[in-house]
Amino acid sequence: MNQEKIEPVFLTTRQVMELLHCSPTTLYRYSEKEKKFPCYTISGKRLYKQNEVLNAIKVK
């Protein structure tokens, strides 16, 4: 059985702001204050996992 490891797709701050149509302040609030999805700092850049962002905005 071949177990492939699926690497997550990361989005930049700008990409998430465009996806959500929001400002940097709103994105910060969603990520840091309301904990809708986490932010990862990789090589000094704030990145977001695409699947976590998309799951957070799904209508329930």
Quick: pLDDT tens for 11-34.
999 999 999 999 999 999 999 999
pLDDT computed for residue 60 by the predictor:
52
Residue 48, H or E segment? strand 45-49
Alpha-carbon span 52 to 5, nearest angstrom: 18
In the chain, domain spans? 10-57
pTM (predicted TM-score): 0.81
pLDDT average, residue stretch 36-52: 94
Amino acid at 58: K
- 40, 49 contact by CB (below 8 A): yes
